[in-house]
Structure 1
């Protein structure tokens, strides 16, 4: 019987392929490599048999983005050096015991606040405890400081030579996922408009809308990481534009999420008022359901437009968004006329019907391309102005370079 070869484990390949762009996986691999290199360099440059302070410092310095490495690296190195010096002083006088451990932690936290290492004060105590625990390995404070500097230099050079990835794609996926969750909620609300809806069901939609706040916070964290990955990154030419496009897009979706929560509140109040009856007459309910369907699709088209990098794809996404908004506007007028007829026959709930239309109008206004273009230009001007005020010399150099390029272009 011929021997058959087993195929490669697809699950392992799929796992690696699906996670190689995950920030956690990338950061884990990068930190491991930097710490290993720092330990090898410390073995070569120092006289210590086990220079563990070097990989410790490299682990603390290497961050998920180049910007965070450069901005926090100095404070992290400062915190580790201070902790090493404190532990070295204690190791000359006392050994490791419960009272010396408590005393070194207290001293490290106090000195950490004095040297202003900000959020890295606990790392002063952590470094001191680790060094005090291996006090027999290193004999002098200078050896430990040398290990710290080796780890810091390796960590900084590692992120400079091996630039971390740009996390715009991850942030874009988070924005699109948020828009799809909002779409599903809108479709669920629309399906219940022309049927008897209990207060419990409407309240469940309201709680789901409130949970969008947590989703927005998660997307905001992913976007902040993407913004940091664009700063000081030699791979990126239009970092400011990319940051502003994504940030304004998330701001728009956040406003829509707030309006969606208010809309769910309106539906809950209407369910309380209507009792066991349908929320709307059947024809009006169908019209509002179609309107919410177009609004839901417009949210996803907007998110795709915001996160699309290629110009051709962006133009297609913009056309889809314009088509969805146009269809929503047409359905809005039809639904408004039907709701008006229902209010004239039964004027008791007119304020809730009006609130529903006002909330839908607000979402459509936020998604309008002209409104977005104006908002984008305002944010670009504000960001450029703040950057000029923060770095005036750099702005002057850029102005001279662009002026010379313009002169050369005109002369040609």
Structure 2
């Protein structure tokens, strides 16, 4: 009765702590989003005013709307690298649209037939994988075609010059006015992933010690599979953080390129995820195995549960925040080494028992091997990642 009471309470405490961590992460993300809105507003205003001031004097009717629109798009690109690549694509697409408008106007004039020809050539004939570029080419060509009715030559040159001007202004603003960095988002996503995997390992370890395998094995398996969502999110955040460091003036000015984007940590945790899912799958399959001689012995469950708890702690500490003093904390490293040495020693003992035929459940040797291999790989991956 006491165990049945403590187990739900412990699970409730664990879930409450995890929920509290998620709420803290959400609050932090909300603060970051509010700060992003302010930054985007400042950059948009700066880009619009600069583009208007540069392009208005020589634009037809002093209306450089195309330059302003292009500058706004480039200034609010998620990274400086992305703003440059988008600018190149935009300039190429609009140049192609202007060339298409010039060709159709020269052959058929500014008529409905020219508009139809532009639609067919840009939308149907263009590459199917670049749908946005095809639409941009078509829209630019139609706008340029309308402009040729008033000024055949200037109507084509002015939009191209405005596009180029707006692109340059937007890139400059994005690069110089608080260029975006996503290191905090990357760190938060990777730490959240490590915390979720460590929590699950700890829950499985506690469940094994309390003989809750049959009741909770399927739940553990579902939780392990759900970790893939966190894995995908962390991968996207790390990719964006790495991209944000490219051509970023804040990195150049403050030597931020050496900052951690947790790319290596994520790659290690991706391997750990496979081991966690493998452990949960093996436990779930064994819990519902109809062969009684395949069930895991109590001695093994006790020892393996302790190992999973140590592994869970090691995973959570692996991506934890580094000390501000710069002096690494030796305690997590020592705990990890202790878990590895304990698992290896235990594995040797179990292998010897299996070889001599003295294991309590000889029919479950393949399950022992699978579980031990997964936890050993998990711990060794963490150890390898900690090695310079």
After TM superposition, the structure 1 = structure 2 runs for residues 351-390 of structure 1, keeping only pairs within 5 Å, are 351-368=366-383, 372-374=386-388
- The one-character-per-residue Cα deviations of 1:86-127 (angstroms, maximum 9, x if unpaired) are 3466578345x6x765542332257865xxxx9766234225
Q: Could you say what secondary structure the match of 1:315 adopts?
A: coil
The structural deviation recorded for 1:197 is 3.4
Distance 1:102 1:171, change over 3 A: farther
Segment of structure 1 superposing worse, 147-156 or 52-61: 52-61
Which residue among 163, 176, 179 is the counterpart of 2:191? 176
Q: Residues 86 and 104 of structure 1 are in contact (CA less than 8 Å); yes or no, is this contact kept in structure 2?
A: yes
Residue 70 (structure 1) aligned with residue 81 (structure 2): no
User: TM-score, normalized by length of structure 2?
Assistant: 0.73
Q: Which has the higher contact order (CA 8 A, sep 6+)?
A: 2
Of residues 192, 207, 211 in structure 1, which corresponds to 2:226?
211
Which residue does 1:122 correspond to in 2?
Answer: 132
Number of aligned positions between the proteins: 347
Query: 1:315 deviation in Å?
Result: 0.9
Contact 1:223 1:247 (C-alpha < 8 Å) held by counterparts: yes
CA contact (8 A) 1:66 1:163 kept: no
Secondary structure in 2 matching 1:273: coil
User: Of 147, 156, 163, which aligns to 2:171?
Assistant: 156
Aligned: 1:236 with 2:247: no
Matches of 1:348 and 1:213 in 2, distance apart?
A: 32
User: How much does 1:222 deviate?
Assistant: 1.3
- Aligned with residue 225 of structure 1, among 228, 237, 240: 240
Q: 5+ residue gaps in structure 2?
A: 1-26
Q: Who is 2:96 aligned against?
A: 82
Between 355-364 and 120-129, report the one with greater CA deviation. Answer: 120-129
Inter-partner Cα distance in structure 1 for 2:315 and 2:295 = 24
Give the Cα separation in 2 of the matches to 1:72 and 1:314.
Answer: 42
Secondary structure (helix, strand or coil) at the match of 2:78 reads coil
Write the deviation string for residues 343-371 of structure 1: whole angstroms up to 9, x where unpaired: 712211121112111111111111115x5
- CA RMSD, aligned part only? 3.9
* Unpaired stretches in structure 1, ≥5 consecutive residues: 1-12, 375-412
1:188 maps to 2:203: yes
CA contact (8 A) 2:186 2:238 kept: yes
The structural deviation recorded for 1:254 is 0.7
Q: 1:55 aligns with which of 42, 48, 68?
A: 68
Structure 1 pair 297/266, CA: closer, same or farther in 2 (3 Å)? same
Is residue 254 from structure 1 mapped to residue 270 from structure 2 by the alignment?
yes
Would you say the 8 A contact 1:76–1:120 is kept in 2?
no
